[in-house]
Amino acid sequence: MSDVVFEIKDLYAFYDEHAALQSINLKIWEKRITAIMGPSGCGKSTLLRCLNRLNDLIPGFSLKGQILFRGQDIYQIKDLTEYRRRVTMVFQKPNPFPMSIFDNVAYGLRIHGITKKSILKDKVEQALRMAALWDEVKDKLKKPAVQLSGGQQQRLCIARALAVEPEVLLLDEPTSALDPIATTKIERLLEELAQQYTVVIVTHSMGQALRISDEVVFLYEGRLIEYGETSTIAKTPKHEVTKQFLTGKIG
């Protein structure tokens, strides 16, 4: 067993009065792919966004319980920018910034104080290679990022996240806006990245979870109903809802 990266203890999350998450207890392991699954509205995105503390931005959001990142309560952290560098996030819809491809990847480095051109160049290339995008864009680094295709944009966003050398990569349904070919590319990429990074991915596609994840977490109506190794759960689901999910009755 590897190390625990996140430990979530009795977590409740509220949007105003509405409880989006209830009584979540969960561990996320280092250098594995953990998939968070469940029907839409089950709170899976909320859970993921809690890990990056992105929900802080939403008015009316509140939270009870603890999330420990390597033993430290993340809601006690003062230096959020450094924390978000270590635990960074990729979104459902590709969101390239309105700048060039190069500047997109360099953005994260620049905000964390790296400004030397030669270093930037190296790191950007490295990140783009890791995201398997380098060959496609190396001749047009100065071009606007929005001119890339949807799948390329999403890989660019992954590269942007990788450039800041995070420990954990959070992905919120990263392929739901993409076509099957682009999806396959991203899934392969994630499997490779899992050798170096801890990956947490929210997905509503059972197939995707089975294909790429090591661990799977099932949420249903804000509660955690089952979690463990993907292969075990796929064979012997304990919970009725999980079974229905596996057979495609809920989706």
Partner 1 sequence: MMRKTVSFIFVSLTSLAAVIVAAALFAIVFFIFTESIRAIKEVGFGLFSPNWYPVWETDPEFGVGTMLLNSLILTVWTSVWVWTIGLSVAIYLHKYALNKEREVLLRILEYVSGIPSVVLGLFGVLILGNWFLRLGAWSAQNFLNASIVLSVLTLPFMTSLTFQSLEKVPRQLVEGAIALGAKDLAVMWIELRYAAPGIVNAMLSVFNRIFGETMIVLMVAGGANLLVRSLLDPVRPLTATLGSEIGEVAVGSLHYSALFFIAFLVLSGSLILNLLTNRITRKLERWIKG
Report the interface residues with partner 1, using CB under 8 A. 52, 54, 57, 80-85, 88-89, 91, 93, 95, 97-99, 107-108, 110-112, 144, 146-148, 157, 160-161, 164, 170
Q: Give the angle subtended at the CA of 36 by the CAs of 34 and 39, to the nearest 5°.
A: 160
Q: Nearer Cβ to partner 1, position 34 or 242?
A: 34
- Say how many C-beta atoms besides its own lie within 10 A of residue 210's C-beta: 16
Task: Indicate the residue among 105 and 246 with the shorter CB distance to partner 1.
Answer: 105
Q: Which residues pair with 53 in a beta bridge?
A: none
Q: How near is the Cβ of 10 to partner 1 at its closest, in Å?
A: 25
Write the single-letter amino acid at 128: L
Minimum separation from the CB atom of position 82 to partner 1 (A): 7
Q: How far is the CB of 228 from partner 1 (least distance, A)?
A: 28
Based on CB atoms, which residue is closest to partner 1, 49 or 211?
49
Smallest distance, partner 1 to C-beta of residue 199, A:
15
State the CB neighbour count (10 A cutoff) for residue 181.
Answer: 9
- Which is closer to partner 1, CB of 14 or CB of 107? 107
